[in-house]
Amino acid sequence: MIFQLFYEIASWILFLIFLPKAIYQAIVEKKYRTSFLKRFGYQFPKIERKNKGPIFWVHAVSVGESQAISSVVKRIKDEIKDAVIIISSVSETGHATAKRVMPYADYHVYLPFDFSLSVRYVLKRVQPDVVILSETDFWFNFLNRAKKLGAVIMVASGKISDNSCKQFKRFSFFSKRLFSLVDFFCLQSERDYERFSDLGVAKSKMRVSGNIKSDVQYPTLLDAEKIELRQKLRLQKDDLVLVVGSSHAPEEELILEELSYLLKEHQNFKVVIVPRHPERFSQVEEIIQKTGLPHTTLSKCSEKPDINPKVVLVDAMGTLVKCYQLADMAIVAGSFTDKVGGHNILEPAFFGVPTICGPHMFSQKQLLEIATSHNAVVQVDREKLPQVIKELIENAKKRKEIGERGLSMVGALRGASERTFQALHDLTPQFFSN
């Protein structure tokens, strides 16, 4: 009781500290406008069972986790006809992605803020039988209340960084209570297994299943669809295209600054920028305008049919994977800023696109280690980025070799989703008996 009271007070203090920034971002950057009230339980639907079937609550915090967990969720849907599936997200982009990649889910919701009143209200309307967390995002009140209502809790593709492990060790009185609520951990790597073991998680509750992101089957464009998309983006047949995916501030500015002379020197070299967050589209457009380079945006391409842009801004959601299929090379962003820690380098590799990332990949350490061991990614500091891009522009053989190693890596990583689903089946056999 004392612990929960302490946790509640600490949660409210952190929330109030964060609130001014959230208000500013809502007004200036138009963030949280859809999700904020809903994370208090506002308009949360009343969940109805199907013929007394189980309710699965799957939490995928943002974009990458939503895409990764989709294959496991689809398998649950196919195997248990009366299952009700709820997908929760935290970010609005993650919520939109979850709707797009998992349209077969019964409900798409926002995870409530981890306050007792919000969590109690929401879980009273759901009463899930199984809670699945994709990768990370552990919330004590939510898990504790779900456990009291009888839910089986499992982590899929779990991971924990060195820094997080150290922090949890410092507050072991909290971490032991938190992780004791989880019934089973499917982990990405042996290193994650060791870290969770150091935090007191019983080895009988863990299994190394791999990273389920490696099993994502991205929709592949037909040749006619690629031609149509190239036309929409005003890309010529012989253009060499660099796609900058999931960029954050100030990456667009620094990447264009470093590559400006290459864009002027090589007539057929083009850059397509796909920002991570839609609320930044207008800001990124202003950054591109300041370069003085010929440019356009996806939404305005039809207004200027004769333009031959050097830089194209993709100001639409759900298009990054399509753009990777037009790329001759790709930069997976979020890695040239120390505030993000990188994004999923498997996405362009899935299509055999030579992949580049920056020095800050601390959120994707395991993926980076795997890609580096396959020599399937080029990690580079900002200052050396022009040199690397120039070499790839001028050396088609090298582009092909890196791309082929990426394809080989993706193939070698397959199977994590099947192992994760099997662990779920073993953990909850009562729901798969039919």
- Active-site residue set: 65
Provide the residue count of the chain.
434
Three-state DSSP string of the chain: CHHHHHHHHHHHHHHHHHHHHHHHHHHHHCCCCCCCHHHHCCCCCCCCCCCCCCEEEEECCCHHHHHHHHHHHHHHHHHCCCCEEEEEECCHHHHHHHHHHCCCCCEEEECCCCCHHHHHHHHHHHCCCEEEEECCCCCHHHHHHHHHCCCEEEEEEECCCHHHHHHHHHCHHHHHHHHHCCCEEEECCHHHHHHHHHCCCCHHHEEECCCHHHHCCCCCCCHHHHHHHHHHCCCCCCCEEEEEEEECCCHHHHHHHHHHHHHHHCCCEEEEEEECCHHHHHHHHHHHHHHCCCEEEHHHHHHCCCCCCCEEECCCCCCHHHHHCCCCEEEECCCCCCCCCCCCCHHHHHCCCCEEECCCCHHHHHHHHHHHHCCCEEECCHHHHHHHHHHHHHCHHHHHHHHHHHHHHHHHHCCHHHHHHHHHHHHCHHHCCC
**Residue from 210, 90, 215, 102 nearest 157 by CA:** 210
CB proximity list for 276: less than 8 A, separation 6 or greater? 63, 93, 246, 247, 248, 333, 334, 343
What gap in Å lies between CA 185 and CA 165, rounded to an integer? Answer: 15
In terms of phi and psi (left: phi > 0; alpha: psi -120 to 50; beta: otherwise), the region of 344 is beta
